[in-house]
Amino acid sequence: MIHGFDTVVVVDFGAQYAQLIARRVREAEVYSVIVAHSATAAEIAELQPTAIILSGGPSSVYADVAPRLDPAVYELGIPILGICYGAQLLSLQLGGEVVRTGVGEYGRTELSVQATSAVLAGWESPHDVWMSHGDSIATAPPGFTVTASTPQAPVAALEDLQRKFVGVQFHPEVAHTIDGQSVIRRFLFEVAECLPSWTHRSVIDAATTAVKEQVGDRRVLCALSGGVDSAVAAALVHRAIGSQLTCVYVDTGLMREGESEQIEETFRAQFAIDLIHVKAADRFFSALAGVTDPESKRKIIGELFIRVFEEVASEITDVDFLAQGTLYPDVIESGTASAATIKSHHNVGGLPEDMQFSLVEPLRLLFKDEVRQIGVELGLPEAMVWRQPFPGPGLGVRIVGEVTQERADILRAADAIVLEEVKRAGLDRELWQYFAVLPAVRSVGVMGDERTYAYPIIIRAVTSDDAMTADWARLPYELLETLSSRIINEVDGVNRVAYDITSKPPGTIEWE
C-alpha cells in the first residue's frame, strides 16, 4: 500500500496484458499494483484498495488447473472490473453460465451496445473492440444487466451497479479497442469513485518523504550506471537528502562510447553532486573470464558492483544505504509471486545475499514512462531523460558468450555507429531502444579480395511504451544499409551485419 493514494489492485491471471492494465490505471492518475491470483481476500484487503481489476488470462475457466479468485473477495464491498478471463470468472463464481461454443473471437470485433451502461456511455453501436477468447459468457449472474454483445459473445459486457461489479469480454487496455481507456476511466471514477491523485508531482513528493523517513540523518551511496533510471533515482534521492548523498560511478569497461565523460560532466559539474569515479575494468574482465552463461554473467556483475560499493563505503562514515534505479518491470521480470523469472536483473535477482547495505529504491513501483516524466519534473537534461535504456551490466549482456576486452571494444565501436546514425535519421525519439549485439562466433567473409574470419554484429531496434512488450522497428532499408556499410568498414574484426526482427514476446529486448 502507498499511503496518500487510492490503490487499484490488478489481479494477474497469467495475462500478457496485466502490466498494461496497471499502466492504463496509472495513466488515469490512480495508483495500481499487481498481485497474484493466489492472493487471499485478507491479503488483498490489507492493501486497502479502492477498486480491483481482474485481468485476462490464457486458461479456460473449466480447465482442471484454471486459476481461481478467492470467493471472499466478492464480499469485501470493493468495486470490481473483470476483463476477458476476469469477466468470465466473475460471472461463473457469482452464478452465471460460461460455455465453450467451439467458435472463439480473436482480433478486431464489432460490439453491439444494448443497454445503458456506466462504462460504455457515449459509445456508438457497433463499436470496434479487441477480443481474444474461446469461452463465452452465456448467462449473466443474478443481479447483473447485460449491456453489450458480439456475434459469438451474447454477454460481452455486464454490470451490477448496486454491488459495483462490471465485466467486459473485450480488452479495453489495448490500443486496438477504440476509446478503450474511457472504459477504464469510467470504472475508476464513476463506478469506484477513485481520486486521480497519482500525479508526477505527488509521486515525487511521496518518494521524497519516504526516502527521508527511511534514511534519517545517515549517508547514502547511489549506484550510477549512466542510464535513465539511476540518473532519476540519484536526482530524486538528492532532492530528499542533499549532501548526505554520494554517487558512485563504476567504470566496468562495459560502458558505451563517451559514457564516463558524460556522467562526470552531468553529475559533478552540472548538479554539484558528490561523485566518486571508480575505474574497475580490469576487475570485471577478470571476473568474467571464461563465463558464458548469461545468468552467471549478470550475477557476477551484480555482486562485483556491490563489492566495489562496499569498498567505497568503508572509506566514508555512516553509510548504511545503497540507492539504485530499480523499476517495476525489473522486479516483475526477475520473478515475483505472480510472475515467473524471465531473467535476473543485476539489481534485483543478481544481488548477493550477504550485502551490507539496506536498499533505497525510490523508483521500484514505477514504469519507465513514469520515470521519464519524473526526470523532467526534477529538471534533468532532456538528453539524459530521453536517453534509451541501458542495462546495468552494460555491454556484458550484449556480448553473447565470453566477455573479453577485445570483444567489448569491438561492440562499443559498432554501438556508437548505431547510436549516431539512428539519431542522424531522426528516429531516436521514436524508438524505445536501438543498439548493437556481438555474438561470440566468427563467420567467413571476403574483404579486399581476401578471406576474413571475423565477428558478426547484430542490430536490435524496438518500439515500446514500457518495455513489458516491444515490437521490432521497421527501420528504413537505406538506414540499415548505412549501418552495415559503416560498421563493416570502420570496425576492425567485423565482417557481417544482421538485423533482429523478433518482437517481445517471444524474445526479450536484450539478448541476455
327 within 8 A of 363, measured Cβ to Cβ: yes
- Range 456-478 average pLDDT: 90
Last residue within a domain, chosen from 157, 191, 225? 191
More confident: 127 or 336? 127
Are both 182 and 214 inside the same structural domain?
Answer: no
Q: 187-201, 270-284, 380-394, 460-474 — which is least confidently predicted?
A: 380-394
**pLDDT tens-digit map of 83-137:** 999 999 999 999 999 888 767 677 888 899 988 899 999 898 899 998 887 788 9
Is residue 510 one of the residues assigned to a domain?
Answer: no
Last residue within a domain, chosen from 191, 209, 229? 191
More confident: 237 or 468? 237
Is 222 in the active site? Answer: no
10 Å CB burial of residue 446 (0-12, 13-18, 19+) is: exposed
Q: What is the pLDDT of residue 40?
A: 94
- Range 217-223 average pLDDT: 88
Give residue 1's pLDDT band: very low, low, confident or very high (50, 70, 90): very low
Full-model pTM:
0.70
Give residue 449's pLDDT band: very low, low, confident or very high (50, 70, 90): low
Give residue 342's pLDDT band: very low, low, confident or very high (50, 70, 90): very low
Q: Write the CB contacts of 276 (distance below 8 Å, at least 6 apart in sequence).
A: 246, 247, 248, 249, 312
- Range 194-216 average pLDDT: 93
- Range 32-49 average pLDDT: 93
Closest CA to 259 of 348, 384, 368: 384
C-alpha torsion angle, residues 500, 503, 507, 509 (rounded to 10):
70
Average pLDDT, the chain: 88
Cell of 396: 556484458
In Å, how far are 220, 266, 310, 320 from 217, measured between CA atoms? 10, 26, 19, 11
**pLDDT tens-digit map of 376-404:** 998 888 877 888 878 878 899 999 999 99
Cell of 40: 487471499
Q: Is the pLDDT of residue 343 over 80?
A: no
86 within 8 A of 12, measured Cβ to Cβ: no
Q: Is the pLDDT of residue 152 over 70?
A: yes
User: Which member of 37, 127, 133, 171 is catalytic?
Assistant: 171
Is 37 in the active site? Answer: no
- Range 419-437 average pLDDT: 94
Q: Is the pLDDT of residue 451 over 90?
A: no
User: Which member of 84, 194, 222, 247 is catalytic?
Assistant: 84
10 Å CB burial of residue 395 (0-12, 13-18, 19+) is: buried
Are both 373 and 231 inside the same structural domain?
Answer: yes
Are both 160 and 36 inside the same structural domain?
Answer: yes
Is residue 391 one of the residues assigned to a domain?
Answer: no
Are both 171 and 223 inside the same structural domain?
Answer: no
Q: What is the CATH number of the domain that holds 342?
A: 3.40.50.620
Q: What is the pLDDT of residue 259?
A: 82
- Range 441-463 average pLDDT: 86
Give residue 141's pLDDT band: very low, low, confident or very high (50, 70, 90): very high
Closest CA to 84 of 118, 58, 49: 58
* DSSP H or E run through 340: none
SS3 393: coil
Is 171 in the active site? Answer: yes
Is residue 392 one of the residues assigned to a domain?
Answer: no
Q: How far apart are CA 193 and CA 1, in angstroms?
A: 18
Residue 451, domain extent: 398-499
Q: What is the pLDDT of residue 108?
A: 85
Q: 213-222, 280-289, 307-316, 491-500 — which is least confidently predicted?
A: 307-316
**pLDDT tens-digit map of 55-76:** 988 888 888 788 999 999 999 9
Is residue 512 one of the residues assigned to a domain?
Answer: no
User: Which member of 29, 105, 159, 173 is catalytic?
Assistant: 173
380 within 8 A of 232, measured Cβ to Cβ: yes
Is residue 22 one of the residues assigned to a domain?
Answer: yes
Q: What is the pLDDT of residue 42?
A: 95
Closest CA to 222 of 240, 202, 201: 240
Are both 242 and 164 inside the same structural domain?
Answer: no
Q: What is the pLDDT of residue 73?
A: 97
Q: What is the pLDDT of residue 248?
A: 87
Calculate ∠ Cα 296-299-305, nearest 5°: 140
Beta-strand relationship, 219-224 and 165-168: unpaired
Q: What is the pLDDT of residue 354?
A: 66
Are both 321 and 460 inside the same structural domain?
Answer: no
